[in-house]
Amino acid sequence: MTDRLNLTPVAIREAMAFADTVFGGRPWAMDHDGVASAVFSQPPIGTVGLTEAQARRRHAEIDVYKAGFRPMKHTLSGRQERTLMKLVVERASQRVLGAHMLGPDAPEIIQAMAIAVKMGATKQQFDEAVAIHPTAAEEFVTMRMREPDPSDVGQVP
């Protein structure tokens, strides 16, 4: 047990790295950054990359974008279920450091976000993507209003 990220897909990838390195003559190491994870609760949670608190500790300045909304499909069903999404962005480079979601289909949507985070996508690249409407995932590419920085309003995260 490595006790780094206790997830089955991580263990499989670590085993592949070990086998390729030791037995296959193709050395490589598992990269533990940007691994997506999910909690299959009701509602489900999906996350990839740094949390807001981790980003604040590691980077000089960050921007946080949030979307809280009631999915359009619930306007027809009458359900009051809401979804929350967050992007954590390094201010200087505009690189997306983390993406987080609480709501229906969060694990499926975060898996796609993991590719963008792993590739070092920027907030501008997210903004330039054309949204599929009406979907929950479109919120990740239509967030435009940055949350107030806690230091601006005298709060500590």
Q: Which of 59, 74, 100, 133 is catalytic?
A: 133
3-state secondary structure the chain: CCCCCCCHHHHHHHHHHHHHHHCCCCCCCCCCCCCCEEECCCCCEEEEECCHHHHHHHCCCEEEEEEEECCHHHHHHCCCCCEEEEEEEECCCCEEEEEEEECCCHHHHHHHHHHHHHHCCEHHHHHHCCCCCCCCCCHHHHCCCECCCCCCCCCCC
Q: How far is CA 91 from CA 41, 55, 87, 109, 146, in A?
A: 32, 11, 12, 24, 11
59 as an active site residue: the answer is no
Which residues are tagged catalytic? 133
